[in-house]
Amino acid sequence: MKNKTIILIAGPTAVGKTSVAVAIAQSLHTKIISADSRQCFRELNIGVAKPSPEQLQAVQHYFINSHSVHDDVNAGMYEQLALQYAEEIFQEHDTAVMVGGTGLYIKAFCEGLDNMPQVDAETRNKIQEEYAEKGMEWLKNEVKNTDPGFYKTGEIENPQRMMRALEVVRITGMSILNFRKQQKKERSFGIIKIALELSKEELHHNINTRVDQMIDDGLLDEVKNLQHLRSLNALQTVGYSELFNYIDGRISLEKAIDDIKKNTRNYAKRQMTWFRKDKEFTWIDPIDISLLKKITQS
């Protein structure tokens, strides 16, 4: 499949990736593979900023509404699924579009992942229960004490990554870093990597506006309807955790909304840091669709 190509559209949340990906896919008459670790869950809608019904109708998307929050979805699974999706698209098209902001999923697809130790359900459930009961500060302290190397270099504001590191050290006695060999796998297709960026002021404005729109669209009701699932890993995420704190009476609704905005801005900053490390990305303003089309069709 050396004549086949993946056009990867990455970047921080609220930068405009979905609109750009749809425009590119339409111009190339192809399909989109999502690289978002939350939009795959059927039960999560408003809080994960899924593509609109119109966008989903305009272009076929893979890995949107494809799983339940009860499913164990991870980067290793995504690597295999996304490769299958790409192969299916390549049967009819020379090009496919991938779009998303989950850096580890994108890395898994482009380069492959190292073989990680299997974690038993008992260990995973115990850590999730402890995190649900004791919160983020407990999780940070546990990782700091048991895996200081990962704590210094990992995503310490991301509870999923932190819990994963804690799982590995508890079952193996070793840091998760020991299992990362960084050996890239060869892919049988080309990959064009494009990352979208806006000024800090524009991006923060987009984030704040999006959060306000989510609240207007009924995010609080969505979160209330998911209370019975709140212990699941998929619900330990920005936009949901903060409103659970409000529902529990720990903070005001105004504080919860402000926390969502702040935590989303922090997440966007971490995304930018992740993608900046990959020098294969070409960085472009999302407004410049004509330049994007020129790059992707050359």
185-195: pLDDT as tens digits? 899 999 999 99
**CA separation for the pair 32, 58 (Å, rounded):** 11
Pairing of strands 282-284, 190-196: parallel
pLDDT category of residue 37 using cuts at 50, 70 and 90 = very high
User: What amino acid is encoded at 204 in this protein?
Assistant: H
Query: pLDDT of 140-149, one tens digit each?
Result: 999 999 999 8
pLDDT category of residue 269 using cuts at 50, 70 and 90 = very high
Strand partners, 67: 41
Report the predicted TM-score, pTM, of the whole model to 2 decimal places.
0.83
Q: Which of 14, 10, 51, 9 is nearest to 202 (CA)?
A: 14
Identify the structural domains of the chain with CATH numbers, from first to last.
Answer: 5-113+183-297 (3.40.50.300), 121-179 (1.10.20.140)
What are the structure tokens assigned to 93, written together?
Answer: 């098209």
Place of tokens 């990992």: 154
Pure H helices in 147-199: 148-153, 159-172
| C-alpha distance from residue 274 to each of 60, 107, 154 (Å) | 28, 10, 11
pLDDT category of residue 294 using cuts at 50, 70 and 90 = low
pLDDT category of residue 93 using cuts at 50, 70 and 90 = very high
Pairing of strands 5-10, 95-99: parallel
Query: pLDDT of 116-139, one tens digit each?
Result: 788 888 898 899 889 888 888 899
* Contact in structure between 191 and 6 (CB atoms under 8 Å): yes
Tell me which H or E stretch contains 107: helix 103-111
* Contact in structure between 192 and 296 (CB atoms under 8 Å): yes
* Contact in structure between 270 and 203 (CB atoms under 8 Å): no
Handedness of CA 88, 90, 91, 92 (dihedral sign): positive
| C-alpha distance from residue 203 to each of 40, 213, 260 (Å) | 24, 15, 15
Tell me if residue 20 falls in helix, strand or coil: helix
- The alpha-carbon radius of gyration of the chain (Å, integer) is 19
What are the structure tokens assigned to 196, written together?
Answer: 């979208």
pLDDT at 136: 86
Mean pLDDT of 244-263: 97
**CA separation for the pair 69, 237 (Å, rounded):** 12
Place of tokens 């966008």: 55
Tell me if residue 98 falls in helix, strand or coil: strand
